[in-house]
Amino acid sequence: MTAALSRHLLTAPHGSPGSARARYAAAMALYAEGALGPAALEAYREASAFDSLDPAQVLADRGLATPPAQPLPPAALLHGLLAEADRLLAATQGAGLAETRAGLA
């Protein structure tokens, strides 16, 4: 996971299924890079059990700063979309799929 993607996922909107775990995964990646402290990581860990819980509230309750939202650059968005399309096509069988995957690469 790139740092840009981690920072983007860290501020993903709460409420959608799996969003809390995605934020916690991003927090762990940033912690491993030294870009996030242990107290903030713990706040994201606690919030990871509840998709509807806004981690900004948990951070604020502990007197920790909420990271600013960081949109991904268009090139990173396109790269992620292509990687996901290739991952889905890799699990599919049929005529022309190898050519389609090669065209996406």
Per-residue pLDDT of the chain (105 residues; tens, 9 = 90+): 677 778 888 888 888 899 999 999 999 999 999 999 999 999 999 999 999 999 999 999 999 998 887 777 888 778 877 888 888 888 888 888 888 888 877
Contact 52, 15 (CB under 8 A): yes
Q: What is the pLDDT of residue 1?
A: 64
pTM beyond 0.85: the answer is no
Task: Report the C-alpha gap between 8 and 65 in whole angstroms.
Answer: 16
Q: Quote the CA–CA distance of 13 and 11 in Å, as a whole number.
A: 6
Residue type, 63: G
8 A C-beta contact, residue 27 and residue 36: yes
CB 35 within 8 A of CB 3: yes
